[in-house]
Structure 1
């Protein structure tokens, strides 16, 4: 009988916890599972329409980047026509799907790493050459970008303005550290010094022993609203303790505790349920791997994000989640008797949204990698929002941002492939180095235009971001770039280490992070635009014998 009551209580508490979760998360779930997918679909439809228009011409240009440029320019025009407030309202609507794509942009990069085992074999000697080119090129490009941007700052006289703006942003600082100034207003009204003395009674009952001690005794003349000084110090302490007891929150009930845990891990639990109850049954009953592999890939990314922040600086979530995904794909396929190559072929079948909507015949069903790569296009378009947010910075420091990016883009496109091929790196991998400094969202289509190896550019682009986040600020210090020159620092790190270094700057210098975001986006767009011109592509390919 007691067991039945216990089970009934557990079931009742579970139902109550689920009801609490529903009340707490229904709006978020409505946004996540309805508004966001519909918004992403609209963005991809726009990309498909632009891609169809581009297909009518002889120019090869990614539709996602074209939509990025159109959205950025369109928002500027709309802002001029209808004003800032209405434009912000429009941006808030676009930000529902676009913000999702930007927040989870890293997971859309994982297919390039997951598919690395399918790459052609590479010798140890070539690996060593790639590492050498990466290290030397990283330092040279960063130094060239920093000195170019710094020189433009000094030439145009904007460096002094930048440092002044930075000083105003930090505000006036004082060397005095008021360690004992707990109430500046009172100290300004009265020359008050706290008196010493005990504030804790010698004896206390058990419930009170864990409470924090009251503040030290104050000057009675400064006490307001009590009718005068307290007559009994012990009674005053008792009142204080009673007030503290009354202010203690009530303990959570079991349904509330369960609801809190579920709410905290709602996304993870949702994908886990989809993996177990939808993905696996479909995979092992029909052989279609996408639902199982996609949900497992997302769970692997959540696991990578759970690492401590210090670890994530070295173990980037893209690398960790990709490694976990490869292992999971192998195990899931091995249970069915499939090899790793067969399982990875099912992971990426090359059937993207563009192929589906073009009604190409005999297309295989899309894999998990195809879904992520398709949504990556929406992430590229979403980069227009931070660019629009920092448009005033772009206008103010236009030449210091644009000219270094143009120079480094041209130098990377023609310099890296030539050097790599000259020292014995294969042609496709040499071309992949042209996108070394780009954020992966823009590096992949740029290298694809050149005919380079996508897996190589994925590896070097992500490593550029990680290395820049780890040692980029120190290199700028060694180059004697002033810490207050946020323009040079932002442009250099954005152009050399893309989004990962930008995320680090957000913690130390938000204004430098803004310029880093602009530099990252512009550098990618410039490079992608150049690789979309057939004459330029032919000239670059000729450097590697293609």
Structure 2
């Protein structure tokens, strides 16, 4: 009998061919792409500093890349552009999938923010609630008015979800799931495959076809996921409908052409029933075949599957183990590896909570993982006999990639986990050029509705929120931070920093806006509140994109892909316009003056 060591060695040898592509893609190509992007951003930032213009390099590169893609497609065609997009998507696709975790530093550093009074807290809550619902109603009816005024067609290149039926679910599952194909099987437990919007990539039509065709592979796959009851019910319902259809067809055939129904029953119906009984047996005997006829997996195969499924988790655990001595050894005391491992682990833990989807959507990974991370950081600080606030200060020292080599004020500081995330956030901002390019036709088609709405929302947020908040008693920094209330975090951070406002307040209001939008959009747009037509994907997409940002857009991907496309365009253009206006020094000085600076 082979020993455990030999089985483990055999499992490692068998897993290496499967892991080879994963390691090359995730641990070689993606880091190289990220480093090239950071180097490009660093160079562009140095050029911007020479011009004395206060504009973020990330947004500059996003706009430049978008224009290059559009121009290249126009001159050489989309087919020649596709290989370039495939290369660009290696780092950019990864950064967009992980963009949520890059938002966490704004919340982790909240304990370092100045304390606010109870009156200011209530004022912030009141302004947020009224501003959110007023903006929702205003944007929705403004879009409806523009569509009626310009007689805009509501038909899209992507049709209604109920018209597409299963194909929409299948495409969404494929496009939003992030999984690696290993030996023909989708390994959903790897780190890059953990996506809250991920779908199974399988339709009811495929399942029912597998039952009737006698191919049990999809049935076994479903049973392994624990969908037995729903599969049986679908099968019974399908068979009942099939029998009723056959019966009605047979009866009509008997009346018109067949003199003897007995002959029809013996020649036709019995054959169908035999086929159905065979399919029925194949479906309901599959459990027995799995539990009794399938031999147990050998030990080396179990080791092989474990290594393939949990390779990324083992790398994360290795980072945690290495970070412990670096954190506690007095001569080193470097917090970044340990804090980075904890932040990623808590984020993945929230993503993998075993709850139903309607319950799980209340546990947003950004907010919940931040709470768990702060708890872990507090425990580590107590063990180290260090101040908790000092630990948070070391989490984000400000020495990111832009200040790593040539900023003398940060030479004594080492980059923290928050600085790593903020550097990767800039890559995510550049990556937003990809969805802008993808949905450029929707932008061109609906430009007469979207552009006035975006410009109006930009002007109102930029010029109305700061003086209004200051008049209601908020401090200057909080008043300026409120102007980024509905700007997605990736673009709201450079915008509020340009205005010298409160980034933590902007981050809180933005994330809460997105969560509220995702939870209440069906109710607000329904017949009891705003009464927005279900076919009006332009209004739904623009309203959620401008008022709720990327979080609500992710929800729309699973509900209405047409509205999700409009929402993506809306929040990217809206955030870009806000960053541009915040970078214009005279406009920024005017708004800061209104806010009492």
CA–CA distance in 1 between the matches of 2:285 and 2:238? Answer: 29
Residues 1:20 and 2:65 are matched in the alignment: no
Residues 1:283 and 2:331 are matched in the alignment: no
CA 1:171–1:542: 2 relative to 1, 3 Å: same
Paired residue for 1:147, among 141, 145, 149? 141
Q: Is the 8 A contact 1:192 1:219 kept in 2?
A: no
Residues 1:399 and 2:448 are matched in the alignment: yes
CA–CA distance in 1 between the matches of 2:579 and 2:35? Answer: 24
Tell me which residue corresponds to 1:181: 241
Tell me which residue corresponds to 1:125: 119
CA–CA distance in 2 between the matches of 1:336 and 1:241? Answer: 59
Tell me which residue corresponds to 1:270: 315
Q: Is the 8 A contact 1:268 1:302 kept in 2?
A: no
Tell me which residue corresponds to 2:547: 496
Tell me which residue corresponds to 1:315: 363
Q: Is the 8 A contact 2:161 2:560 kept in 1?
A: no
Once the 2 structures are TM-superposed, how far is the Cα of residue 399 of structure 1 from its aligned partner?
2.0
| Residue pairs, 1:217-256, within 5 angstroms | 221-222=267-268, 249-256=294-301
Once the 2 structures are TM-superposed, how far is the Cα of residue 119 of structure 1 from its aligned partner?
0.8
Residues 1:472 and 2:521 are matched in the alignment: yes
Q: Is the 8 A contact 2:335 2:416 kept in 1?
A: yes
| Residue pairs, 1:503-522, within 5 angstroms | 503-522=554-573
CA–CA distance in 2 between the matches of 1:280 and 1:487? Answer: 51
Paired residue for 1:462, among 506, 511, 515? 511
| Residue pairs, 1:3-402, within 5 angstroms | 9-158=3-152, 161-163=153-155, 170-171=162-163, 180-182=240-242, 221-222=267-268, 249-276=294-321, 278-285=322-329, 286-307=332-353, 308=355, 309-358=357-406, 360=408, 362-402=411-451
CA–CA distance in 1 between the matches of 2:572 and 2:510? Answer: 14
1:350-383 CA-partner distances (Å, limit 9, x unpaired): 1010111435462411011101100100001001
Tell me which residue corresponds to 2:467: 418
Q: Is the 8 A contact 2:159 2:562 kept in 1?
A: no
SS of residue in 2 equivalent to 1:508: coil
CA–CA distance in 2 between the matches of 1:111 and 1:101? Answer: 16
CA 1:190–1:41: 2 relative to 1, 3 Å: farther
Q: TM-score scaled by structure 2?
A: 0.78
Tell me which residue corresponds to 2:207: none
Long gaps (5+) in structure 1: 194-217
CA 1:510–1:537: 2 relative to 1, 3 Å: same
Q: Is the 8 A contact 2:465 2:483 kept in 1?
A: yes
Tell me which residue corresponds to 1:435: 484
CA 1:30–1:166: 2 relative to 1, 3 Å: closer
Q: Is the 8 A contact 1:351 1:363 kept in 2?
A: no
CA–CA distance in 2 between the matches of 1:178 and 1:163? Answer: 32
CA–CA distance in 2 between the matches of 1:164 and 1:37? Answer: 38
1:285-331 CA-partner distances (Å, limit 9, x unpaired): 21011111111111111111112333442221001111111111121
Greater C-alpha radius of gyration = 1
Tell me which residue corresponds to 1:207: none
SS of residue in 1 equivalent to 2:413: coil
Q: TM-score scaled by structure 1?
A: 0.85
SS of residue in 2 equivalent to 1:365: coil
CA–CA distance in 1 between the matches of 2:252 and 2:313? Answer: 55
Once the 2 structures are TM-superposed, how far is the Cα of residue 88 of structure 1 from its aligned partner?
1.7
CA–CA distance in 1 between the matches of 2:250 and 2:468? Answer: 73
Q: Is the 8 A contact 1:427 1:545 kept in 2?
A: yes
Q: Is the 8 A contact 1:352 1:370 kept in 2?
A: yes
1:200-236 CA-partner distances (Å, limit 9, x unpaired): xxxxxxxxxxxxxxxxxx9663499x9xx99xx99xx
Q: Is the 8 A contact 1:146 1:492 kept in 2?
A: yes
1:462-500 CA-partner distances (Å, limit 9, x unpaired): 111111111123222211221110011001101110111
CA–CA distance in 2 between the matches of 1:311 and 1:172? Answer: 27
CA 1:165–1:45: 2 relative to 1, 3 Å: closer
Q: Is the 8 A contact 2:399 2:414 kept in 1?
A: yes
Residues 1:483 and 2:534 are matched in the alignment: yes
